[in-house]
Amino acid sequence: AIPASLTRSGNFIIPCFAGMASQRAVSLFMLAGLCFGRAVQGAGVWQATAEDVETSLITELAGLVRTGQPHRFEAALGPIHASLPRNAHGNLAPAEVRSALGQLFAKRPGWTLKGTRPGEEAWVLTHLQKLMGDRLGGRGVGLRELAALAASLEGLARKEATARLRAAYEASGLALTGRSSRTEVLRALRLYAEAYLGSNVSASTASWMQRWEAEQWSAEGGELSFLDAGSLVLAMEHQFSRFKLRECSSLEPSATEARCLDVSSLYSLCCHSTPAPEPSVWAAAFADFPELWAFSAACFLLAAAVAAGSRLFRQHATEEPNEVDVAAEGSEEAEANDDVAKPEKAASSQQGGVLCTCAVLGLVCAAAAPADLLDVSVLAPASGVGLLLLAAARLAPKQPKAKKC
């Protein structure tokens, strides 16, 4: 463990991770960067001001008026906006606005927008909504205004990242203008990463940071500008978000809600409790054995009975003596009438068999629905086997009828 006396700098306590040196080979150089990174964060924590929020929103709204084109967020927000309850003006109330923005940013790996979870308050989002509400006169937020709110939040998140990177540059003694060597920029990015991750750094996160650093050190390239460093920051944050998402998938569902990493004043990286992937048809059938398989067996028997009954009914209809044959036996006209009457009776019997099959399948579905057994793992094999049996009965060779002397 690191003594508390080694983590103090004047009156400022640097919250280094005390037990990290004993977890999975974290280098002393990495530990020093972690402590220094926390000092960078504490020395210049960025918080959006009222002026920042107002400027961001006004810029987005002015862009909508100036271009007259659909906002880039409208396509993603359209289905979300349509799925939420709307007021008499067809717009969203404040609670629905927060829900829509939360759903939008949740599509980014691990993102949870602050102020969108139940009982959570966030000053930036609340102030943005108040500004928009005052502008719209209480009519609610439409799709275009919702897109402007989303873009404002994204712009503020970028501004926060830029401020944090600027603090890392200043702590490293690098100039914001011009270009710096890749080695110097990567040292500044280490400070940025540690300020971004905070003090709650797990062993797996520290290992990921080491791998990411190794990849960047081995990459080719000359001098980098401040804008180039910003691109590396965006790539690092995106890769880390995906890493945390993979790490969340190995957790128990009950433990996902508590795993949030506070990486920004606007959003957190959280383990979203997504539903488990749907099992295959056969996996679902085996999981629910024996109820579903017993019901499937009943469906098979009913389908087989219908197919056999249809076959026997058709054979009986074709073998029944025709009245025309009795009345005009031996005449050519009777034979012609017999040839016309037989297909009509056969077609009638086939139609009766099909209708009987549909009726039985309808009764099966009606009985399965209240019993909560109307499942694809039941209906798919049952209907498939029933259709195969009907096809076999239809294509089976007919027995030749004995000719009359």
The tokens of 212 are what?
A: 């990411």
User: What is the rounded CA–CA span in Å between residue 319 and residue 325?
Assistant: 12
Residue 150 pLDDT greater than 90, yes or no: yes
pLDDT at residue 298, rounded to an integer:
65
Q: What's the whole-number mean pLDDT along residues 190-217? A: 83
> Could you report the per-residue pLDDT of 45-92, keeping only the tens digit for each?
678 888 999 999 999 988 888 887 888 899 999 999 999 999 998 999
pLDDT at residue 281, rounded to an integer:
46
pLDDT at residue 229, rounded to an integer:
92
Before 279, cis peptide (omega within 30)? Answer: no
Tell me how crowded residue 131 is: count the other CB atoms within 10 A of its CB. Answer: 19
When pLDDT is cut at 50, 70 and 90, the band that residue 225 belongs to is very high
Among 58-67, 161-170, 249-258, the least confident range: 249-258
Residue 326 pLDDT greater than 70, yes or no: no
Among 39-48, 110-119, 225-234, the least confident range: 39-48
Residue with the two structure tokens 């009519």: 139
When pLDDT is cut at 50, 70 and 90, the band that residue 100 belongs to is very high
Q: What percent of the chain has pLDDT over 70?
A: 53
pLDDT at residue 378, rounded to an integer:
56
User: What is the rounded CA–CA span in Å between residue 176 and residue 36?
Assistant: 20
The tokens of 227 are what?
A: 């804008």
When pLDDT is cut at 50, 70 and 90, the band that residue 30 belongs to is very low
> Could you report the per-residue pLDDT of 390-400, keeping only the tens digit for each?
666 666 665 55
pLDDT at residue 284, rounded to an integer:
46
User: What is the rounded CA–CA span in Å between residue 263 and residue 255?
Assistant: 19
Tell me how crowded residue 14 is: count the other CB atoms within 10 A of its CB. Answer: 18
Which of 153 and 275 is assigned the larger pLDDT? 153
- Pick the most confident of 10-14, 100-104, 207-211, 345-349: 100-104
The tokens of 158 are what?
A: 């970028």
**Arithmetic mean of pLDDT over the chain:** 71
Residue 273 pLDDT greater than 80, yes or no: no
Cβ-based burial of 377 (10 A; exposed 0-12, middle 13-18, buried ≥19) = buried
- Pick the most confident of 26-30, 149-153, 267-271: 149-153
Residue 20 pLDDT greater than 70, yes or no: no
> Could you report the per-residue pLDDT of 332-349, keeping only the tens digit for each?
554 555 554 555 555 555
When pLDDT is cut at 50, 70 and 90, the band that residue 104 belongs to is very high
Q: State the sign of the Cα–Cα–Cα–Cα dihedral 184, 187, 193, 194.
A: negative
Cβ proximity of 115 and 126 under 8 Å? yes
pLDDT at residue 300, rounded to an integer:
63
Residue 324 pLDDT greater than 60, yes or no: no
When pLDDT is cut at 50, 70 and 90, the band that residue 184 belongs to is very high
When pLDDT is cut at 50, 70 and 90, the band that residue 106 belongs to is confident
When pLDDT is cut at 50, 70 and 90, the band that residue 6 belongs to is very low
From 343, 358, 329, 321, select the one nearest 398 (Cα to Cα).
343
